[in-house]
């Protein structure tokens, strides 16, 4: 079990040097939310910090019933500080919030502030405000945030310290300014006319332009219009495309994050309008805002690798790397550790097994990681990194390109800390040392004692680690809000679960406290991590965690099934296969095809066809067997068909147990073992006396046990467990063992136990026809993705298939009750829904005042308002009266379930004749 | 001819030959057979059919209901001519650490039907539970009367109905509706205290088949008697996702109830301090009242209940019906409390027929079982209109009012915001017998809502409106057109009315008059609600002796 919670206090250490790094004098205010908040509360308390406080926003307490932040349960009320929200919707609100945070800190005696990885964590202004208020930010200083956080600045630094960067242009605005005025003097004069000046002595023209621009940002003045920069963007794009024929470019806002503010363009696209879109998206259109945008080569086959760095302002050390290529819509889903020790060992193991292609690929990967780690450390030292940050790169084959530095702790930080221990040795007495195994802990230490901390060594911890982000999403990985968790089984041995405190029980009753996933912020619910002696072990353990987790509730939809399928995909192919960032959406297309195929399978038809008494045989015997085995076979099969991601997991788990060489697929193992395997995969075999309907029925268990025992005896008698041999022996007319009288019963048992299992053969056959097994790694571990899985149309179709159909949509929105209709919330405010406006589902659309209560009514579905049908304001309306004529965004096609079932019966019959 | 298929293990080691059984051995073996008979009567193929419908057997349901590691004591195991228990299992199980009477139809034995004798068996269990003062849980899954049993089956039902009524008010009961129950099987459970129905189940007078042939109505079982139907009429108190969820909810609900009417509900020491500040209530009200719609902004009252209760836990009854009133159990400083709270987030918090009936039932239950109550008031009144009158709002409102007057357990009122007219009178104010009435400073207590300004400022309004034509003439004389003048005067009048409205709200729609008359005992600040209510509750509870109801039987409801 990885050691997570333990005493971290240094105040009682034998060594005075170690004691000098004690952090109990800190008082820390945590201003973020999410799993990092509870982790930080726990770690800081374990470090012996004097007091730990947190903010609590209205959305985490009063806006949604039964959605009170769970970490409140472990905090004394006087350490919980209510705020309207953790950040601000507008710039003005943000400024207000920062002031409020400083005020709370002063009023309650907090000396330090921790911002996790959320809203305020990469905001240089925020850090500066804290610094000005005399508070210490547990994170990089504002200077570092600016140097490393702004993408263009970071790129320049990277170039200076010989870090590999993507070809492109990082000084678009400087070029635009110079293009506008033609000379340094011209620029200086124009700037001066607007009251902006900077020291440009000896600077070459683009550098001078940059200095003037920086001065203009400080002064809150625009030296360029958006149109002028947009025009320059077009010029630069045209020039780059001329140099890189056939390639695509990526425009990136310097202040974006999490995928925001980026656009891809090809030759012929309108760069100017894309530039404007980007600026709007990252809200950089204000006067005096830095409107620079990077223009870069778009690396197509990208893998996303990152290096965990820590530094104290003088040294920077890498803690190892993470591969985060398994992502969708720029949101990471599954993160894997990549460290030199693990990759070296893996390469050696593959070579020993005779797999030279993979051994070479792993060695290449190892070299790549070494290079990225070295570059990361150089970069960190160049900017004087004085806390934790992540050095992010994109990898294409054996080349890597620096992308950006995230000057904060990241969600997936545990992946790295589980693989490395930071050992701080007393430089004067190397015997004295202390170990740190938490990034949060080291951030605290760096904030308190940074400059004094010596450069740490890396001591080994676990060889490999893996993290799955458990999100409240539906089968298409789109957010699904509103569900309520009512039960979550305890973590199993070796499961690290960062769950924000959701699993903290009611202290009085010990019962689980139901928690509503209101969807007020992002869809992340928890983080699940496992470790292993190698990557294979860490994947196997995560599969086991997911298998045994019972997470249930009302209207609950999470991606636990998705992760199960994904983990099994790699276990079924190669855990060292290297997916690109396009893998997940391609994989989802395949899962969607499985869902579609599942609709065409009618299990009853298939089963009845298989259990039909052959011509001339005893009908009664067959009817009995048919009844006895019906739930045994069909119950797990139906579960697979109902859950496409679980279906995917099963298909991957049996990948190597099917022989495709004949006309029809054949199992290479005993189908009874396959059946047993399905029950295990669905976690229906382990005892749970208080949940009988979640487990195999008792009579089915008895049958399955009999079948397994029977074949065990047969194998013992025949002296082999090779299925083909056993099957042939049992099908022979003369007894292969035992007496002739017994042989009839033995043969009968063989036929009986095999009967109906063709259902699983059907499942595999139908799945194969969808092309599910065509997605596979090549010999060198790369994963070629069929082009048809990469199109936008395929992705849209997959989403439509896997996402539940939208609620009723119509051409009108009618009044939910009688009362007084108001178009706006209060006099003087703009109307909530005007002609031409695009409304999202759940967005407030109008007010109905009944009995003096002004009820905000939300739109039932996404639509565009064509016409407002109510004239005037403060009009009495009746229930059901049409208020708006609308065009719904998605038209629901109503499918008659009876028709679908009939089609499935027909199709299944056809398939069964083929098998 | 190939061997016929079987699903045994012919290679299993044969059982060792045992010695010839003696007379005593044979007698003991008969005893084993008898003990096993109820489970053996449920043959494998019948269990398979039950499972194929996605339902558990009665034994599996008992396993899910009882405390892990305990064994049920099955009573009258071999009841009935076939010595198999007559397709009803009656037992005493440990649920939440307390002995609890449990019955369940065994659908795998003659479809759980009631015949001449097993109605009597059920009645015996119920009488025993009442005598011993333990709660009752029913897991109903019956096809109804066993037709071949004839009138005997009907008598069986009557015996069961009667027994269940005779124990009503003595012990609480929770009825789960599994499977398809029609006729008697649908009536019997509603005589219990609470009914829980999971999805994919049906109960009703008759099934869709009979409905189709008698009335020509074409409906699905779910449309006729599924949880979505019954939860709206109040026939069902809670819906569940599936059988396991229903049984889990049963356990949760039982933890709030006493074993019988002689005691109060089980107390539980809590680690949640009584003096914890209720900041969520403060923030909720601040957000609502400082929003553009001011005092007329709806908000979800369940957040107030959550903030008052120990560790925020509460259990709502009828959460999907008439949620303009919330009825819920919660704990305050370890004691179970019945909450009744107006909820302005749904239908503006008005009290209508469904809300009144929902409240009346809940209050009566708390009255019988010694459960103290806290009322949270925020309603602008009873809902007017033809629909309500036709459904008998007077009748229903009266039922609610009567239930509150009859309430003998400690009861507190916290006025949160609106308390107008008749609703104030009915909702546990001092004259109705409240023990303590507290109010937040956001209280607006008045005979009428804001429209009352028409009455209070009759003179001023009449004067202003009367002077309007003269003003119009004046403005025309000054050079405006008629339209302009009328618009200007209209705006001026609207301003007067708005000012008077503000004046009305400030002068009359506040707690002052109520405080001076003693209708409100004291003001409580929103962040202090838990401590104030909890302290008062502790005081009044300490002077209340739990026991059965006694006294005059009042009329109707």
ipTM, two decimals, is: 0.91
| 316-355 in chain B: CB under 8 A from chain A | 331, 334, 344, 347-350
B536 forms beta bridges with none
Q: pLDDT for B142-195, tens place per residue?
A: 877 666 667 777 888 888 989 999 999 999 999 999 998 887 778 888 889 999
Burial classification of residue A121, based on how many CB atoms lie within 10 Å of its CB (0-12 exposed, 13-18 middle, 19 or more buried): buried
Q: pLDDT for A854-902, tens place per residue?
A: 888 998 888 999 999 987 677 888 888 899 999 988 777 777 888 999 9
Q: pLDDT for B476-526, tens place per residue?
A: 888 888 888 888 888 888 888 888 887 887 777 889 999 999 999 999 999
Question: Is B153 an annotated catalytic residue?
Answer: no
Among the listed residues B104, B183, B185, B207, the single catalytic one is B183
Distance CA A208, CA A174 (A): 8
Q: pLDDT for A303-362, tens place per residue?
A: 999 999 999 999 999 999 999 999 998 899 999 999 999 999 999 999 999 999 999 999
User: Closest to A745 (Cβ–Cβ): which among B6, B245, B276?
Assistant: B6
Contacts of A703 in chain B (CB under 8 A): 7
Q: pLDDT for A158-194, tens place per residue?
A: 988 989 888 889 889 999 999 999 999 999 999 999 9
Q: pLDDT for B281-320, tens place per residue?
A: 999 999 999 988 888 899 999 999 999 999 999 999 999 9
Residue B437 structure tokens: 């009435």
3 state SS of B438: strand
Could you give the angle at which helices A758-769 and A897-914 cross, rounded to 10 degrees? 100
Contacts of A823 in chain B (CB under 8 A): none
Predicted pLDDT at B129: 97
Q: pLDDT for A487-498, tens place per residue?
A: 999 999 999 999
Question: Is B491 an annotated catalytic residue?
Answer: no
User: Is the predicted pLDDT of residue A552 greater than 90, yes or no?
Assistant: yes
User: Closest to B7 (Cβ–Cβ): which among A65, A80, A752?
Assistant: A752
Measure the CA angle with vertex B309, ends B305 and B310; round to 5°: 160
Predicted pLDDT at B506: 77
Q: pLDDT for A394-414, tens place per residue?
A: 998 888 999 899 999 999 999
Interface A:B, Cβ pairs < 8 A = 196
3 state SS of A316: strand
User: Is the predicted pLDDT of residue A702 greater than 80, yes or no?
Assistant: yes
B64 close to A (CB below 8 A): yes
Torsion of CA A796, A797, A801, A807, to 10 degrees: 60
Distance CA A577, CA A336 (A): 12
B47 close to A (CB below 8 A): yes
Question: Is B422 an annotated catalytic residue?
Answer: yes
Distance CA A703, CA A633 (A): 11
Q: What ranges make up the beta strands (E) of A604-754?
A: 658-659, 666-667
Predicted pLDDT at B27: 96
B5 close to A (CB below 8 A): yes
Q: pLDDT for B369-410, tens place per residue?
A: 999 999 999 999 998 889 899 999 999 999 999 999 999 999
**Which chain B residue is nearest to residue A732, measuring alpha carbons?**
B2
Predicted pLDDT at A662: 85
Q: What is the DSSP letter of B5?
A: P
Q: How far is CA B88 from CA B113, B134, B203, in A?
A: 8, 19, 18
Check: CB of residue A541 under 8 Å from CB of residue A497: no
pLDDT band at residue A915 under the 50/70/90 scheme:
confident
Predicted pLDDT at A86: 94
User: Closest to B60 (Cβ–Cβ): which among A692, A742, A747?
Assistant: A692
Contacts of B272 in chain A (CB under 8 A): 507-508
Asked if the Cβ–Cβ distance from B4 to A622 is below 8 Å, we say: yes
User: Is the predicted pLDDT of residue A549 greater than 90, yes or no?
Assistant: yes
User: Is the predicted pLDDT of residue B137 greater than 90, yes or no?
Assistant: yes
Residue A915 structure tokens: 């098998």
Q: Which long-range contacts (CB under 8 A, 24 or more apart) does B390-393 make?
A: B391/B353, B392/B353, B393/B352, B393/B353, B393/B356
User: What length is written for chain A?
Assistant: 915
Measure the CA angle with vertex B339, ends B335 and B345; round to 5°: 145
Q: What's the whole-number mean pLDDT along residues A801-823?
A: 82
B228 close to A (CB below 8 A): no
User: Closest to A854 (Cβ–Cβ): which among B296, B349, B450?
Assistant: B296
Check: CB of residue A864 under 8 Å from CB of residue A837: yes
| 475-514 in chain B: CB under 8 A from chain A | none
Q: pLDDT for B193-203, tens place per residue?
A: 999 999 999 99
Cβ atoms within 10 A of the Cβ of B431, count?
9
Q: What share of chain A is helix, strand, coil (3-state, %, to 5)?
A: 45, 20, 40
pLDDT band at residue A695 under the 50/70/90 scheme:
very high
Q: pLDDT for A51-83, tens place per residue?
A: 999 999 999 999 999 999 999 999 998 999 999
Distance CA A569, CA A475 (A): 16
- What residues have CB less than 8 Å from A2, skipping those under 6 apart? A418, A462, A494, A496, A529, A531
Distance CA A447, CA A105 (A): 16
**Which chain B residue is nearest to residue A509, measuring alpha carbons?**
B268
Check: CB of residue A470 under 8 Å from CB of residue A527: yes
Question: Is B385 an annotated catalytic residue?
Answer: no
Q: What are phi and psi of A359, to 5 degrees?
A: -60, -45
Q: pLDDT for B12-69, tens place per residue?
A: 988 888 889 999 999 999 999 999 998 888 889 899 999 999 999 999 999 999 999 9
Residue B510 structure tokens: 């506040």
Asked if the Cβ–Cβ distance from A62 to B287 is below 8 Å, we say: yes
3 state SS of A8: coil
Name residue, tokens 């209508």: B352
Cβ atoms within 10 A of the Cβ of B124, count?
16
Burial classification of residue B328, based on how many CB atoms lie within 10 Å of its CB (0-12 exposed, 13-18 middle, 19 or more buried): buried
B312 close to A (CB below 8 A): yes
- Mode of pairing for the β-strands spanning A484-488 and A515-516: antiparallel
Check: CB of residue B198 under 8 Å from CB of residue B245: yes
Distance CA B344, CA A844 (A): 17
Percent of chain A residues past pLDDT 90, beyond the cut: 74
User: Closest to A65 (Cβ–Cβ): which among B45, B302, B334?
Assistant: B302
- Name the minimum distance, in Å, from the CA of B61 to any CA of chain A: 8
Check: CB of residue A196 under 8 Å from CB of residue A219: yes
Mean pLDDT of chain A: 93
Give DSSP secondary structure letters for B485-548: HHHHHHHHHHHHHHHHHHHHHHHTSSSHHHHHHTSS-EE--GGGHHHHHHHHHHHHHHT-----
Among the listed residues B422, B433, B495, B547, the single catalytic one is B422
Taking every pair of C-alpha atoms in chain A, what is the biggest distance, in angstroms?
110
């Amino acid at each position: 079990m990885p050691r997570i919670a333990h005493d971290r206090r240094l105040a009682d250490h034998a060594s005075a040097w170690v004691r000098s790094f004690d952090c109990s004098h800190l008082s820390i205010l945590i201003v973020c939310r999410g799993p990092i908040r509870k982790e930080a509360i726990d770690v800081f308390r374990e470090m012996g910090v004097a007091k730990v406080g947190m903010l609590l926003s209205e959305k985490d307490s009063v806006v949604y019933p039964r959605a009170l932040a769970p970490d409140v349960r472990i905090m004394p009320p006087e350490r919980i500080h209510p705020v309207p929200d953790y950040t601000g919707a507008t710039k003005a609100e943000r400024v207000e919030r920062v002031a409020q945070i400083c005020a709370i800190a002063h009023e309650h005696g907090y000396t330090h502030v921790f911002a996790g990885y959320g809203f305020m964590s990469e905001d240089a202004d925020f850090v500066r405000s804290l610094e000005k208020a005399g508070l210490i930010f547990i994170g990089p200083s504002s200077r570092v945030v600016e140097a490393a956080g702004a993408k263009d600045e970071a790129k320049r630094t990277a170039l200076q310290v010989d870090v590999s960067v993507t070809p492109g242009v990082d000084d678009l605005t400087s070029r635009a300014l110079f293009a506008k005025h033609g000379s340094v003097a011209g620029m200086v004069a124009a700037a001066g006319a607007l009251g902006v000046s900077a020291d440009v002595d000896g600077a070459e023209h683009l550098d001078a332009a940059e200095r003037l621009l920086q001065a203009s940002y400080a002064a809150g003045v625009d030296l360029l219009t958006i149109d002028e920069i947009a025009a320059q963007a077009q010029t630069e794009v045209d020039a780059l495309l001329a140099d890189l024929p056939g390639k695509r470019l990526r425009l990136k806002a310097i202040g974006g994050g999490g995928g925001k503010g980026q656009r891809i363009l090809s030759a012929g696209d309108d760069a100017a309008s894309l530039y404007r879109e980007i600026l709007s998206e990252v809200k950089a259109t204000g006067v005096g805002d830095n409107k620079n945008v990077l223009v870069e080569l778009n690396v197509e086959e990208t893998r996303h690798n990152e290096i965990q760095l820590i530094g104290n302002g003088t040294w920077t050390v890498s803690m190892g790397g993470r591969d985060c290529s398994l992502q969708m819509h720029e949101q990471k889903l599954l993160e894997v550790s990549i460290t030199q020790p693990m990759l070296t060992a893996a390469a050696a193991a593959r070579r020993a097994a005779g797999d030279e292609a993979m051994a070479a690929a792993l060695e290449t990967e190892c070299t790549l990681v070494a290079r990225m780690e070295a570059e990361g450390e150089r970069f960190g030292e160049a900017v004087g990194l004085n806390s934790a940050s992540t050095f992010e790169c994109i990898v294409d084959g054996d080349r890597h390109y620096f992308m950006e530095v995230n000057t904060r702790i990241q969600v997936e930080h545990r992946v790295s800390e589980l693989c490395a221990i930071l050992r701080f040795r007393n430089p004067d007495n190397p015997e004295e040392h202390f170990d740190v195994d938490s990034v949060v802990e080291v951030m605290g230490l760096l904030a308190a004692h940074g400059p004094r901390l010596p450069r740490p060594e890396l001591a080994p911890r676990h060889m490999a680690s893996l993290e799955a982000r458990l999100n409240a999403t539906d089968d298409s990985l789109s957010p699904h809000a509103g569900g309520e968790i009512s039960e979550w089984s305890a973590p199993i041995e070796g499961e690290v679960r960062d769950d924000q405190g959701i699993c903290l029980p009611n202290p009085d009753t010990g019962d689980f406290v139901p928690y509503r996933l209101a969807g007020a912020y992002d869809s992340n619910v928890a983080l699940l991590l496992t470790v292993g002696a190698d990557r294979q072990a860490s994947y196997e353990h995560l599969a086991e965690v997911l298998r045994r987790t019972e997470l249930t509730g009302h209207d609950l939809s999470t991606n636990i099934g998705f992760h199960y399928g994904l983990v099994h995909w790699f276990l079924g192919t190669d855990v060292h296969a290297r997916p690109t960032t396009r893998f997940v959406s391609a994989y989802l297309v395949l899962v969607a095809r499985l869902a579609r195929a599942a609709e065409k399978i009618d299990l009853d038809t298939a089963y009845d066809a298989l259990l039909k008494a052959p011509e001339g045989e005893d009908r009664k015997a067959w009817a009995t067997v048919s009844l006895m085995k019906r739930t045994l076979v069909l119950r797990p099969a139906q579960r697979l068909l109902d859950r496409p991601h679980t279906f995917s997991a099963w298909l991957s788990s049996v990948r190597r147990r099917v022989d495709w060489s004949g006309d029809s697929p054949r199992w290479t193992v005993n189908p009874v073992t396959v059946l047993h395997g399905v029950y295990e995969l669905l976690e229906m075999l382990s005892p749970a006396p208080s949940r009988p309907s979640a487990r195999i029925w008792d009579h089915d268990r008895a049958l399955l046990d009999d079948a397994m025992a029977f074949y065990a005896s047969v194998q013992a008698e025949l002296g082999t467990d090779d299925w083909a041999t056993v099957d042939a022996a049992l099908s022979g007319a003369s007894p292969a063992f035992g007496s002739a009288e017994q042989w009839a019963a033995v043969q009968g048992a063989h036929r009986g136990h095999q009967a109906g299992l063709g259902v699983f053969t059907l499942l595999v056959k139908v799945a194969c026809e969808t092309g599910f097994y065509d997605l596979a790694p090549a010999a060198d571990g790369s994963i070629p993705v069929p082009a048809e899985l990469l199109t936008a149309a395929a992705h849209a179709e997959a989403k439509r298939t896997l996402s539940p159909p939208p609620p009723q949509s119509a051409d009108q929105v009618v009044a939910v009750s009688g009362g007084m209709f108001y178009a706006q919330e209060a006099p003087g405010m703009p109307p909530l829904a005007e002609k031409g406006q695009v409304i999202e589902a759940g967005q407030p659309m109008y007010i109905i005042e009944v009995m003096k209560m002004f009820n905000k009514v939300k739109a039932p579905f996404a639509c565009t308002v064509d016409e407002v049908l109510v004239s005037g304001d403060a009009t009495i309306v009746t229930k059901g009266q049409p208020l708006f004529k609308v065009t719904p965004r998605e038209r629901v096609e109503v499918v008659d379930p009876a028709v679908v079932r009939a089609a499935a019966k027909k199709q299944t019959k056809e398939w069964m004749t083929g098998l | 001819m190939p061997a016929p298929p079987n699903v045994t293990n012919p290679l299993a080691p044969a059982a060792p030959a045992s010695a010839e059984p003696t007379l005593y051995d044979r007698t003991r073996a008969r005893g084993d057979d008898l003990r096993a008979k109820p489970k053996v009567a449920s043959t494998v193929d019948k269990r398979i059919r039950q499972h194929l419908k996605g339902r558990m057997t009665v034994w599996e349901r008992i396993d899910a209901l009882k405390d892990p590691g305990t064994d049920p004591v099955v009573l009258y195991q071999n009841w009935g001519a076939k010595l198999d228990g007559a397709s009803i299992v009656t037992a005493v199980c440990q649920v939440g650490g307390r002995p609890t009477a449990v019955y369940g139809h065994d659908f795998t034995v003659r479809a759980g039907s009631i015949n001449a004798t097993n109605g009597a068996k059920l009645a015996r269990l119920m009488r025993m539970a009442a005598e011993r003062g333990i709660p009752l849980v029913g897991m109903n899954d019956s096809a109804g009367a066993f037709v071949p049993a004839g009138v005997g089956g009907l008598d069986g039902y009557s015996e069961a109905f009667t027994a269940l009524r005779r124990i009503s008010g003595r012990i609480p009961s929770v009825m789960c509706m599994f499977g398809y129950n029609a006729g008697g099987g649908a009536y019997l459970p509603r005589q219990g205290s609470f009914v829980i129905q999971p999805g994919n189940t049906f109960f009703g007078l008759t099934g869709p088949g009979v409905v189709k042939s008698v009335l020509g109505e074409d409906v699905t079982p779910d449309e006729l008697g599924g949880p979505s139907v019954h939860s709206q009429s109040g026939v069902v108190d809670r819906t569940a996702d599936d059988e396991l969820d229903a049984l889990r909810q049963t356990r949760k609900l039982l933890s709030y109830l006493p074993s019988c009417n002689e005691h109060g509900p089980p107390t539980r020491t809590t680690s949640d301090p009584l003096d914890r500040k209720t900041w969520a209530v403060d923030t909720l009200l601040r957000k609502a009242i400082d929003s553009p719609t001011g005092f007329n902004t709806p908000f979800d009252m369940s957040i107030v209940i959550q903030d008052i209760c120990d560790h925020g836990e509460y259990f709502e009854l009828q959460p999907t019906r008439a949620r303009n009133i919330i009825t819920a159990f919660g704990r305050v400083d370890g004691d179970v409390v019945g909450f009744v709270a107006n909820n302005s987030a749904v239908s503006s918090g008005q009290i209508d027929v469904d809300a009144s009936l929902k409240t009346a039932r809940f209050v009566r239950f708390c009255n019988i079982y010694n459960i103290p109550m806290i009322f949270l008031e925020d309603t602008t009144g009873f809902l007017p209109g033809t629909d309500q009158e036709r459904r008998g709002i007077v009748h229903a409102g009266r039922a609610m009012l009567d239930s509150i007057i009859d309430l003998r357990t400690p009861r507190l009122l916290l006025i949160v915001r609106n308390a107008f007219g008749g609703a104030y009178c009915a909702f546990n104010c001092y004259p109705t017998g409240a023990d303590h009435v507290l109010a937040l400073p956001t209280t607006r207590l008045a005979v009428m809502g804001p429209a009352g300004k028409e009455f209070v400022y009759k003179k001023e309004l009449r004067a202003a409106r009367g002077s309007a034509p003269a003003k119009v003439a004046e403005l025309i004389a000054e050079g405006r057109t008629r339209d302009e003048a009328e618009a200007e005067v209209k705006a001026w009048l609207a301003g007067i009315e708005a000012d008077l409205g503000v004046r009305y709200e400030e002068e009359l729609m506040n707690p002052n008059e109520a405080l001076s008359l003693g209708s409100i005992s004291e003001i409580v600040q929103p962040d202090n609600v838990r401590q104030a209510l909890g302290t008062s509750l502790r005081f009044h509870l300490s002077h209340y002796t739990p026991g059965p109801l006694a006294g005059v039987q009042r009329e109707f409801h």
